[in-house]
Amino acid sequence: MSNQEGVTQGDTNFAIQAIDLNAYYGTFKAVNSVNLSIKRNIVTAFIGPSGCGKSTLLRCFNRMNDLIPNFEAKGTVLFENANIYGPTVDSTEIRYRVGMVFQKPNPFPKSIYENVAFGLKINGYKGDLEEAVEQSLRKAALWDEVKDRLKKSALELSGGQQQRLCIARALAVEPEVILMDEPASALDPIGTIAIEELIRELVDDVTIVIVTHNMQQAARVSDETAFLMTGEDRAGYLVEFGDTNKMFTDPENQKTEEYITGRFS
Amino acid sequence: MQTHNKQKFDRRINNRKTTGVVLNVILIITLVIALTGLIALLAEVLIKGLPWVSKNLIVNYPSRHPEQAGLLAALMGTVWVMACTATISIPIGVGAAVYLEEYAPKNWFTKLIEVNISNLAGVPSIVYGLLGLALFVQILALGRSVLAGALTMSLLILPIIILTSREAIKSIPTTYREAAFALGATRWEVVSNVILPSAFPGILTGTILAMSRAIGESAPMIAISALVYLTFVPSGPMDRFTVLPIQIFNWVSRPQEGFRGIAAGGIVILLAVLFIMNAVAVYLRIKYQRRSNE
């Protein structure tokens, strides 16, 4: 599927669908008319050179860009068949259901326990808090490493552990989608592998969209890949989107092939 | 390689090292000068004042005889004014800082407000005293009361509290905000659960600095109260009052030698109060930082 084919609206196989999505920082257009559909329970990777708008596009999916002054999104992002940029939509509701993990591990300066419990508490979780925290830490493959020091500061953990804690924190509120913005770029190779393995385990329960600079990483973890590039107007656009194996072995677009093989200017 | 380098670079390594050593010495001298002034001041006050620091000084009211004079009224007045000032200025100052940093749109109007808050921090304190006299004492008819004094002091230190609280809030990494928002937190939840707890030590430091300035201010209190001979302790915010700096100023200006000594004793008490306030702040900050890191 390429971006020219458009998007079939309201298909329940898709977790998120962008339809003619444009993003602006003030007068600067960062994302130019992107159409793409993210399938449920797979990993979708966004790749492309720096400044191609892949992070901006990702942050359109949970309205994280709303926090940036002068940002404006035009177009449609369908989540559960409703436009998340619709006039009556509450952005906190979107962010509660579409979680996010950031480039740099950003645990709160609180205890490990409080970090995971944070989202549960503010969203009024009615069940057993301790049980939910344990389950989230287990899902993030961190429980065994931290179970004896849940009351210790999260900042004492290693970078890789902090990032898994952030994933546990995001998982705790049971989001349907988790957006990951270069989640391993600040980690060492061992931490990176742990995150990649975790992503593959999590995808059975949750849809994952990951932005990465690392093409090997995209090839390793993702099922589908979107390749974005900067157009002549400096706005990012979608060049090619489809099955990861096919894109890395037999891309349709000349530019994709050049980028993947490293012959990119 | 070596000959190549020698031809191309004149590294003057000895000159550069000498510059470093000279600057190092100059910096140490500036530190010594600053510290000498402070130590000399403290020594002078302690040598002259300590003999006068006694139970009498603390439990007695002012008297014509230096041996019997005490500053109970002024000490309690200072405690009352500071307690009321803190109650008034901290919520307002921190609230204004939170609004400016977290809620206010970034436009020319908020810029204008920000610049003017910085300007207000530099306005001489007597101006606030006259404003307090006109606004609180006369227009609002609060009289020359503890409350009027505390409101005036609040005006004086609000700019400092707002500025330092804003700096403390600004220093909280954006990533904390993003993390909380990404979990579906509302703006208020982000502020109350993440921003304020993290900024608390910084806000506390700024507040104590502001209070330390207020406790030593005499000009605005002279404009409002000017009472020096007070033989009762304020029992409520509407009572008349005097404060330590006014009492000390009064004693210093008396001709008898004994009052100079007791003034020095008063300064020792004032410094002690200041020291206790700062110690409490440091204790709270350390305790709070440890708890938030656990």
Instruction: State the smallest CA–CA distance between residue B196 and chain A in angstroms.
Output: 12
The alpha carbon of B232 is separated from its chain's Cα centroid by a whole number of angstroms, namely 27
pLDDT reading at A250 higher than 80 = yes
User: Which residues of chain B neighbour A170 with C-beta distances below 8 Å?
Assistant: 182-183
Residue A7, pLDDT score: 54
User: Which residues of chain A neighbour B185 with C-beta distances below 8 Å?
Assistant: 92, 95, 119, 122
Across A241-249, average pLDDT: 91
Is A59 at the interface with chain B, CB within 8 A? Answer: no
Q: By C-alpha distance, which of B92, B68, B85 is closest to B241?
A: B85
Confidence of residue A2 (pLDDT cuts 50, 70, 90): very low
pLDDT digits (tens, 9 = 90+) for A23-45: 999 999 999 999 999 999 999 99
What angle do helix axes B146-170 and B125-132 make, rounded to 10 degrees? Answer: 130
User: What's the number of CA atoms in the CB half-sphere (13 Å) around residue B24?
Assistant: 6
A214 Cβ contact partners less than 8 Å away, ≥ 6 residues apart: A184, A185
pLDDT digits (tens, 9 = 90+) for A124-149: 898 899 999 999 999 998 999 999 99
Which chain B residue shows the shortest CA-CA distance from A170? Answer: B183
Residue B134, pLDDT score: 87
Closest partner CB to B294 (pick from A119, A151, A170): A151
DSSP secondary structure, A174-196, as one string: --SEEEEESTTTTS-HHHHHHHH
Percent of chain A having pLDDT more than 90?
A: 66
Residue B74, pLDDT score: 83
Task: Read off φ and ψ for residue B36, nearest 5 degrees.
Answer: -60, -45
Residue B121, pLDDT score: 87
Helix-then-strand count for chain A, H and E: 10, 10
Is B168 at the interface with chain A, CB within 8 A? Answer: no
Residue B3, pLDDT score: 58
Confidence of residue A97 (pLDDT cuts 50, 70, 90): very high
pLDDT reading at A173 higher than 50 = yes
User: Which residues of chain B neighbour A58 with C-beta distances below 8 Å?
Assistant: none
pLDDT reading at A9 higher than 80 = no
What is the spatial distance between Cα A248 and Cα A180, in angstroms, rounded to a whole number? 21
Is B172 at the interface with chain A, CB within 8 A? Answer: no
Percent of chain A having pLDDT more than 70?
A: 95
Which chain B residue shows the shortest CA-CA distance from A113? Answer: B294
pLDDT digits (tens, 9 = 90+) for A41-96: 999 999 998 888 899 999 999 999 988 888 999 999 999 888 999 888 888 899 99
End-to-end Cα, chain A, rounded Å: 26
Instruction: State the smallest CA–CA distance between residue A97 and chain B in angstroms.
Output: 8
Confidence of residue A4 (pLDDT cuts 50, 70, 90): very low
A183 Cβ contact partners less than 8 Å away, ≥ 6 residues apart: A101, A102, A103, A163, A167, A195, A210
pTM summary value: 0.81
Confidence of residue A15 (pLDDT cuts 50, 70, 90): very high
Task: Read off φ and ψ for residue A180, nearest 5 degrees.
Answer: -125, 120
Which chain B residue shows the shortest CA-CA distance from A94? Answer: B184
User: Which residues of chain A neighbour B104 with C-beta distances below 8 Å?
Assistant: none
pLDDT digits (tens, 9 = 90+) for A113-130: 999 999 999 998 988 999
Closest partner CB to B183 (pick from A104, A152, A173): A173
pLDDT reading at A165 higher than 90 = yes
What is the spatial distance between Cα A79 and Cα A77, in angstroms, rounded to a whole number? 6
User: Which residues of chain B neighbour A69 with C-beta distances below 8 Å?
Assistant: 105-106
Confidence of residue A3 (pLDDT cuts 50, 70, 90): very low
Size of interface A-B (CB pairs under 8 A): 74
DSSP secondary structure, A66-103, as one string: GGSTTEEEEEEEEETTEETTSTT--HHHHHHHEEEE-S
Residue B238, pLDDT score: 77
- Judge: B185–A152 Cβ closer than 8 Å, yes or no: no
**Between A97 and B287, whose confidence is greater?**
A97
Residue B59, pLDDT score: 76
Mean pLDDT for chain A overall: 89
Tell me which of A98-102, A203-207, B127-131, B260-264 is least confident: B260-264
Confidence of residue A227 (pLDDT cuts 50, 70, 90): very high
Instruction: State the smallest CA–CA distance between residue B183 and chain A in angstroms.
Output: 5
Segments in chain B below pLDDT 50: 294
